[in-house]
Amino acid sequence: MSRKVDGFYNWLLFLASIFVMVLILSIIFELYLQSKVSIHTFGANFFKSSDWDPVQQTYSIKPFVLGTLYTSFWALLVAVPLSVAAAVFLVEVAPNWIRTPLGFLIELLAAIPSVVYGLWGMLVLIPWLVAHVETPISNSKTWGSFFLFNAAPNGNDFMAASLILAIMIVPIITGIGRDILRAVPNSLRDGSFALGATQWETIWRVVLPRARAGLIGAVMLGLGRALGETMAVTMVIGNAPEFHLPLFSAGSTMASVIANEFSEATLDLYRSALMEIGFSLLVIALIVNGCARMLVGWSVRSGGRRS
- Set out the domains of the chain in order of their start, with CATH numbers: 2-301 (1.10.3720.10)
What does pTM read for this prediction? 0.88
What secondary structure, in 3-state letters, does the chain show?
Answer: CHHHHHHHHHHHHHHHHHHHHHHHHHHHHHHHHHHHHHHHHHCCHHHHCCCCECCCCECCCHHHHHHHHHHHHHHHHHHHHHHHHHHHHHHHHCCHHHHHHHHHHHHHHHHCCHHHHHHHHHHHHHHHHHHHHHHHHHHCCCCCCCCCCCCCCCCCCHHHHHHHHHHHHHHHHHHHHHHHHHCCCHHHHHHHHHCCCCHHHHHHHHHHHHCHHHHHHHHHHHHHHHHHCCHHHHHHCECCCCCCCCCCCCECCHHHHHHHHHHHCCCHHHHHHHHHHHHHHHHHHHHHHHHHHHHHHHHHHCCCCCC
Query: How confident is the model at residue 99, as a pLDDT?
Result: 86
**What is the pLDDT, as a whole number, of residue 128?**
94
pLDDT in tens, the chain (307 residues): 567 777 788 888 889 889 989 998 999 999 999 999 999 998 888 888 888 888 888 899 999 999 999 999 999 999 999 999 999 999 998 888 888 888 888 888 888 899 999 999 999 999 999 999 999 998 888 888 888 888 888 889 999 999 999 999 999 999 999 989 998 888 889 898 888 888 899 999 999 988 888 888 889 889 888 988 888 999 999 988 899 999 999 999 999 999 998 888 888 899 999 999 999 998 888 888 787 777 767 766 665 444 3
What is the pLDDT, as a whole number, of residue 55?
Answer: 84
Which conformational region is residue 116 in: left (phi greater than 0), alpha (psi within -120 to 50 degrees), or beta?
A: alpha
